[in-house]
Structures are given as C-alpha cells and as structure tokens.
Structure 1
Amino acid sequence: MDPMNTSPDSAGLDALVSAAVGPLGLHLESTTVGGEPEQRVLTVVVDRSEGTEGLDLDELAEATRAVSVALDAAGEDLPGLGTAPYQLEVSTPGVSRPLTEPRHWRRNVGRLVTVQILAATETGGGEPAAAEPSPALTARIQSADEAGVVLVPVRPGAKKGMPAKVGDPERHPYARLGPATVQVELTRGGAGAATGELKTEV
C-alpha cells in the first residue's frame, strides 16, 4: 500500500479497503478523503497485483461493489470518514503515476519510460559519495524483478521519420533509479512494443 496519509484513521481505512480488494487480485495504491464536511468524497485507487493488463470497466465496477460492501459492514462510524455521508469513487493510477516500486515496474514491462539513473561518485579519498543523477534516459522496460530492471535505451532517429535507435540492454538496481515516467505512445503500447526492442539479451 502507498497510503496518502499516515494518521491512525487513514491506516484503518486503508486496511478495510485493502482487505476488500485483495481477493480480487488488486492492490490498494491509495485512499484519499476530500469534499465538503457534509458530503465527503472517498477516492480509492487500485491496480492489479501482477501482470501488465489494465483493469476494464467491469473489473472496476466489481472492485467498487466490494469496497462499498466492506464499508457498509464496518458500521456508520468509519475510520477517516466518521459518520458523515460520503461518495465512493474507485479508479486506477493511469500513466501519470511515477514508477517507484518493483511492482510498478513489473506492471509496465514493455512500455517506454523516462528515468534518471543515479551514477555513483567517489570522494577524494576513494570513498563512495552520494549518487548524482545522470541525464534522463528514455528506454523500454524489457524485464523487472525484485532486485532491479533491464532497460533497452531508445533514442529518436537522426531525422524526422527515421526509425528510433535501439541500444543494448542495461540492468539497473532500483537503488540507482529515480522515479520513472511512462511515455504515452500513440502507435503502440506495452504489449505491442517492437520485438527488436525487447528480445535482445543482456
């Protein structure tokens, strides 16, 4: 879970919602409570625990029903909401969510991302110093596991209309990666990534 708040009430609400969506193979990304005091809005963001497919409308509706049933069963005084009326909204993170955890990277295998690689530096005595960010890298995610990812650098063609230049796969541990941003591609998505950009070996 990536709770937006850290108060005990928020933790209790997260626990309720997480228990409701877990059996559906979903992971709770966040819960936020907004709106006016007389009409609160509970926004729940969920994602698949594994795989690269997105959630369809039927699956979101099923998740909404599961969360609604769980909240109703918890009684009228809900953690983080109290007894005020509320409106429930359930959604998915979308491509705007930065990739910051191993499961985020696994969920986006095949997609094009922009990320900064943190390069280790040395002090005058040869001791490692704080990592410094390198220029942003645009690459396709070839694979991801609990330790790190394999990225295939993709650089634009020298001229407009020319094919992109694909580099050699590079493996990076998560500790050296800044938050990654998924790039929206109009002609192909993660599942349709060019095979030449993904099948090269490390």
Structure 2
Amino acid sequence: MSTTQSERLRELLEPLVTSQGLDLEEIAVDSVGRKRVLRVVVDSDTGADLDQIADVSRELSAKLDDSDAMGEGEYTLEVGTPGAERLLKEHRHYVRAVDRLVKFQLTEGEDLVARILGVDDEGIDLEVPGVKGRKATARRLAFADIDKARVQVEFNRKDKNEKNEKEEEA
C-alpha cells in the first residue's frame, strides 16, 4: 500500500473514529488472493466494547462507500481492537498498560519483563518481579531506552482487589 493511500485513508477515517470517542491506532490494507482487506484498529483509554466497534464500523463503511479511497475493486472492512498482546508505541499506549506485565526489548539489547506502575512524559516506573523467592524491585526506564515493548498475557495473576481483600482478612 502506498503511503499516499494510507495517508488518505487516515485523513478520511480518523475524524469519524475520533467522533465516536476512540483513537485510530492502525490502518492496513492486505491482499488475500484477489480480495483486499482493510483492517482498522481502534482503541480508547477505557477500551472499546462491541457496540462501539459496530457503530464505528457502520460509520466507516458508509464513509468509504461514498469515497474512492479504496478504488474500484471489492474489499472487506474489518474493525477491531489491538488485542491482548498489543505492541506499545505511543505514550497513550503505555498509560493504558499501567498495572500490566510488559516485555521490553531495550536499546542496549537487554530483554526485561516488568509491570508498569506509572508513566510520565520522560519514561515509566516499573516493578521487576523477583526471581526464586526474592522480592520485586523498582526500576525506572526512559522512553529513549526502549526499543520495543509488548503487553504480556497473564493467566494466573491474582486480581489486585482479591489480593487486598485477603490481606485485610489476615
């Protein structure tokens, strides 16, 4: 997809997405055989529910039908959210990932898995889990030191409220 088409699609679709209270995170046009698929990823600070996804999908579809941004051929529009293991690229992504476990690839080549505790304009405060019974440690990372960051899925994590309730009972 040419940069020009990507920019045109973003200019066309972003105001509609924003009017629905969402952020336009990503646009991708892929060819699958003779078919084309336009994938639009949206999100917000509070997440996006199915009703919001359906509403924005209808709005985008109508806008695309009224324009020539996708050209003459048929295409499929897919609207969704970033998913559980999202890549963190923008400042707002880090803010939305507070209290989540994240795998960082640092610019110096080190890999680090830690929980985001806080985010400001310069960087992030982390809790690095302890190894072999050791206590967790605090660490600060500047955004400039991060090459790549991806949220990790946690299946066995105790909910913070559940943990606090157990501590109060003891």
C-alpha contact 1:39 1:86 (8 A) present in aligned 2: yes
Q: Per the alignment, do residues 181 and 39 of structure 1 end up closer, same or farther by CA in structure 2, a change over 3 Å counting? A: closer
Q: Secondary structure at the match of 1:143?
A: strand
Deviating beyond 2 angstroms after TM superposition, the runs of 4 or more aligned structure 1 residues are: 34-40, 155-158, 187-195
- Displacement of 1:73 in angstroms is 3.1
Aligned-partner Cα distance in 2 for 1:35–1:14: 19
Residues 190, 20 of structure 1: alpha-carbon distance in 2 compared, 3 angstrom cutoff: farther
Indicate the residue corresponding to 1:124 in structure 2: none
Q: Give the C-alpha shift of residue 189 in structure 1.
A: 8.0
TM-score (norm 2): 0.82
Q: Is the 8 A contact 1:41 1:89 kept in 2?
A: yes
* TM-score, reference length from structure 1: 0.70
What is the aligned counterpart of 1:109 among 93, 98, 111?
A: 98
- Name the CA distance, whole Å, in 2 between partners of 1:181 and 1:104: 10
Structure richer in strand, relative to its length: 2
Look up the SS of the partner of 1:70 in the other structure.
Answer: helix
**What do residues 113-165 of structure 1 show as CA deviations (whole Å, max 9, x unaligned)?**
111344xxxxxxxxxxxxx223x22211011123211111113444xxxxx73
SS at match of 2:129: strand
Q: Distance in 1 between matches of 2:103 and 2:37?
A: 33
Question: Which residues of structure 1 form unaligned runs of 5+?
Answer: 119-131, 159-163, 196-202
**RMSD over equivalenced CA pairs, Å:** 2.6
Unpaired runs of 5+ residues, structure 2, are 165-170
1:145 pairs, out of 120, 131, 142, with 120
1:94 to 49, 70, 83: 83
- Residues 35-87 of structure 1 show CA distances to partners (whole Å, capped at 9, x for unaligned) of 35754221111111xx2x3322111111211211221333xx22xx2111221
Query: Structure 1 residue 180 and structure 2 residue 149: aligned?
Result: yes
